[in-house]
Amino acid sequence: MPLLKLVHGSPLVFGEKFKLFTLVSACIPVFRLARRRKKILFYCHFPDLLLTKRDSFLKRLYRAPIDWIEEYTTGMADCILVNSQFTAAVFKETFKSLSHIDPDVLYPSLNVTSFDSVVPEKLDDLVPKGKKFLLLSINRYERKKNLTLALEALVQLRGRLTSQDWERVHLIVAGGYDERVLENVEHYQELKKMVQQSDLGQYVTFLRSFSDKQKISLLHSCTCVLYTPSNEHFGIVPLEAMYMQCPVIAVNSGGPLESIDHSVTGFLCEPDPVHFSEAIEKFIREPSLKATMGLAGRARVKEKFSPEAFTEQLYRYVTKLLV
């Protein structure tokens, strides 16, 4: 019976036959030596070498051997899985010496139990009275997440709506925030300043870090989620939103191209405020759209991104490996 080593967030027991472990690719040769006849399946979440920016020459020098080891050891796995078609393309671009390998795609799954077990709470503390159209952005306070796109879309939206509708719009910018991380602190200040300058103070609430219960309550109550990062390698927020029957407006690149069904569970747009505000406006003009797209979103997550779908797909790759 083969023991599978799988790179994943946490150890996870897969049925009774396989165990999955967290590891980095450099461990693969050790496993090859230790278990000569076992197959190795490698779940590559995102090539490590892209996660550290190598801007200075010195840093490149230091990373070069590590990058080589990563590329070399990754190539030793019997089967390589990645979390999206997008990551598969990045993989091929990054690991030039492995261009003969076509990684298979195993989408991450959403632990739906944790969503089902929460009773959503009221949002009175976060949303002013009288608001009807609640827009939600969930992302860490990092510049690459392009949260300014959500704010700029709001400015555009103001120009498109009657003042009566506009008064009922509210944006919640919720995101992971750590005051020890300089970028988080700086970026929060930048966003706050932008809100002041655009006179959006009464229409935006910033929420820095939040509990799971708050997140689920927000998703439960909002009209749609604005997902602003470009080239996101997968992006779990769109899955969480769709499962909570909340349509997603996302940028038309990266993982959202695979998670969101355009015009069915949300909208995929160019990363510019005009296209984003046009998409938001659809939900305001046609209130039933949220419910229709919400239902389609939940069905999509259950079908393609549930723990069962994950297990089934993984099982298929494992059996393919064993014949």
Out of 111, 189, 196, 263, the residue judged to bind ligand NAG by CB under 6 A? 111
Residue 228 φ/ψ region, left for φ over 0, alpha for ψ in the -120 to 50 degree band, beta for the rest = alpha
Compare residues 22 and 146 and give the one whose CB is closer to ligand NAG: 146
Contacts of 21 (CB under 8 A, 6+ apart): 5, 6, 8, 11
Nearest Cα to 262, choosing from 287, 230, 238? Answer: 238
| 195 to 23, 114, 186: CA distances (angstroms) | 43, 34, 14
Q: How far is the CB of 75 from ligand NAG (least distance, A)?
A: 30
Q: Are 82 and 103 in contact (CB under 8 A)?
A: yes
Compare residues 113 and 197 and give the one whose CB is closer to ligand NAG: 113
Of residues 113 through 132, those in contact with ligand NAG by CB under 6 A are 113-114, 117
Tell me the C-alpha distance between 296 and 292, whole Å: 6
Q: How far is the CB of 144 from ligand NAG (least distance, A)?
A: 7
Out of 22, 85, 148, 313, the residue judged to bind ligand NAG by CB under 6 A? 148
Of residues 247 through 286, those in contact with ligand NAG by CB under 6 A are 271-273
For 253, other C-beta atoms within 10 Å of its C-beta total 15
Q: How far is the CB of 273 from ligand NAG (least distance, A)?
A: 5
The per-residue DSSP string of 168-235 comes to TEEEEEEE---TTSHHHHHHHHHHHHHHHHTT-GGGEEEEES--HHHHHHHHHH-SEEEE--SS-SS-
Specify the stretch interacting with ligand NAG by CB under 6 A; choose among 46-54, 148-156, 161-169, 219-227.
148-156
Q: How far is the CB of 70 from ligand NAG (least distance, A)?
A: 26
Binding mask 191-230 for ligand NAG (x = CB under 6 A): ---------------------------------------x
Is residue 22 a contact residue for ligand NAG (CB under 6 A)?
A: no
Q: Which residues make up the interface to ligand NAG (CB under 6 A)?
A: 111, 113-114, 117, 146, 148-149, 152, 230, 271-273
